[in-house]
Amino acid sequence: MNHNSSIGCSVAECKFHCKDDNYCTLDNIQVVKHSQKADTIECTDCGSFKIN
Ligand code: SF4
């Protein structure tokens, strides 16, 4: 499965996840924050996630 070597990802539930090794198959992703001010790692996420 072709993947983007610049985007490592361990979210196996995502339809864009490379099952062979832990990478994303998209050319680019949108990283988002879901609090007004991001001050912990939990405040950021992959905005390109789609359920498989
Ligand atoms: S879209 Fe986001 S969550 Fe899905 S495989 Fe790519 S980096 Fe991971």
Q: Where are the domains of the chain?
A: 4-46
Rounded to whole angstroms, how far apart are CA atoms 50 and 41? 20
pLDDT in tens, 3-38: 999 999 999 999 999 989 999 999 999 999 999 999
Q: How many residues does the chain have?
A: 52
Beta strands (DSSP E) in the chain are 4-8, 17-18, 23-24, 31-33, 44-46
Under DSSP, is residue 43 helix (H, G, I), strand (E, B) or coil?
helix
Dist CA 19 CA 9 (whole Å): 10
When pLDDT is cut at 50, 70 and 90, the band that residue 1 belongs to is confident
pLDDT tens readout for residues 36-45: 999 999 999 9
Pocket test for ligand 1, best of 18, 22, 24, 50 (most atoms within 8 A of CB): 24
Residue 9, ligand 1, Cβ within 6 A: yes
- Written as six digits, the tokens of 21 are 């090794």
